[in-house]
Amino acid sequence: MNSLDRFAQGKLDALEASHLRRVLVDSAREDGIWIARNGRRLLSFSCNDYLNLTHHPKVKAAAISAIEKYGAGSGASRLVTGNHPLFAELEARLAKLKQTEAACIFGSGYLANAGIIPVIVGEGDLLLIDELSHSCLWAGSQLSRARAEVFRHNDLVHVEELLNAHHGDHRHALIVTDGVFSMDGDLAPLADLGALAQSHDAWLMSDDAHGLGVLAEGRGSVFVNGSKAPVDLQMGTLSKALGSYGGYLCASQPVIDLIKTRARTLIYSTGLPPASVAAAIAALDIIESDPELIARPLANAQAFTRALNLPLAQSPIVPVIIGDEQAAMNAQARLENEGFLITAIRPPTVPKGTARLRVAFTAGHTPQDVEQLASAVRPLLAA
């Protein structure tokens, strides 16, 4: 074994010993909820395809027709020749939905966060980040070289303390947070955070990956109070409820113009394929015309939390905290035996001691599916 392989093997052995090694498993999704895995057909509660649109006939047809017209790939960065005409259409649709002047599509949600934050803040600036923010908000924060201060989860008092303590020594301050927390399913207090930001001349960015299409008539977490919270930068992804792939930012025209000329992950990465953009447009057509469909994932999640006496779900995501990593893996295996796919989530994705089953509800789950899952999970809570 050469030294590189020894290094890799040593790391793998250590991860294995602490039950933290991850492996890829072939998973053939046959529709929005059923999945073939390990030779079995399982009912999935682990897909972020909240509206089951990945397999919707209109969404697939839009993707196929975009390939026929514009090709399988974009061929270059959007700044060179990769800016096919579907981008402008999707950007206008997203900006309208999010009530902003403009929008910018990125190659993925991860690329969006890694690209946006370093354009907005840099050395000499202050960045405040919720401790439970998604990994790609941390990646963007680190790339920005701004001074990063972590605030306790959803703790407005802590945010204000940090602004009072540090904003004076820095040029600009940016607060970043998930809108819907991806592993906990709870919501950030965006209206209050926005007001706090405004009163301290700070800017607010929220990541609505898990809110678009499923909260507030589909507009997402920024709108849950009935009107738009003052969030300057509304970032999100096309890969969850929209059933496609890609990321976006909705913001004012000058901010979007700046992003389009400065964000490295936009400039130095090939434009999103036409099929993904067309699929997202078709998904928005469905979301905007079917309020009953988009209300279902949250209703299912709430039926589940009611059945198990858990805190009422605020989004389609419900964490069932197990604690120990191995115990969480065992719980996943037990549920798989009963025909359910619910992947265990372990550190470092979640804090140590909070390994969990992350249950994601979709529109296609029936009340009976939800009841059966609740019955299967109940003994795990008692354990």
Ligand X SMILES: Cc1ncc(COP(=O)(O)O)c(C=O)c1O
By annotation, the residues acting in catalysis are 182, 210, 240
CB of 74 or CB of 239, closer to ligand X: 239
Q: Helical H runs in 173-273?
A: 190-199, 253-262, 264-267
Residue 108 contacts ligand X per CB under 6 A: yes
| 1-9, 106-114, 198-206, 261-269 -> range binding ligand X (CB under 6 A) | 106-114
Query: How many Å apart are CA 139 and CA 108, to the nearest integer?
Result: 14
Residue 362 contacts ligand X per CB under 6 A: no
Site string for ligand X, 3-42 (x = CB under 6 A): ----------------------------------------
Query: How many Å apart are CA 15 and CA 18, to the nearest integer?
Result: 5
Q: Determine contact, residues 349/183, Cβ cutoff 8 Å.
A: yes
Q: Which of 237, 244, 302, 305: binder of ligand X (CB under 6 A)?
A: 237
Q: Which of 78, 98, 134, 346: binder of ligand X (CB under 6 A)?
A: 134
CA-wise closest residue to 149 among 174, 120, 168: 174
Q: Which of 32, 82, 109, 274: binder of ligand X (CB under 6 A)?
A: 109
Structure tokens at 18: 């602490």
* Least Å from the CB of residue 45 to ligand X: 16
CB of 360 or CB of 374, closer to ligand X: 360
Neighbours of 266 (CB within 10 A): 25
> Is the peptide bond between 347 and the residue preceding it cis, with omega within 30 degrees of 0?
no
Quickly tell me which residue has 């994601």 as its tokens: 360
Residue 345 contacts ligand X per CB under 6 A: no
* Least Å from the CB of residue 117 to ligand X: 12
Q: Which of 209, 222, 241, 345: binder of ligand X (CB under 6 A)?
A: 209
Query: How many Å apart are CA 222 and CA 242, to the nearest integer?
Result: 17
CA-wise closest residue to 31 among 15, 42, 16: 42
Interior CA angle at 51 toward 362 and 181, to 5°? 65
Q: Which residues pair with 28 in a beta bridge?
A: 36
Query: How many Å apart are CA 173 and CA 163, to the nearest integer?
Result: 8
Q: Which of 239, 265, 332, 343: binder of ligand X (CB under 6 A)?
A: 239
Site string for ligand X, 145-184 (x = CB under 6 A): ---------------------------------x---x--
* Least Å from the CB of residue 382 to ligand X: 30
| 66-74, 105-113, 114-122, 221-229 -> range binding ligand X (CB under 6 A) | 105-113
Contacting residues toward ligand X, per CB under 6 A: 108-110, 134, 136, 178, 182, 207, 209, 237, 239, 247
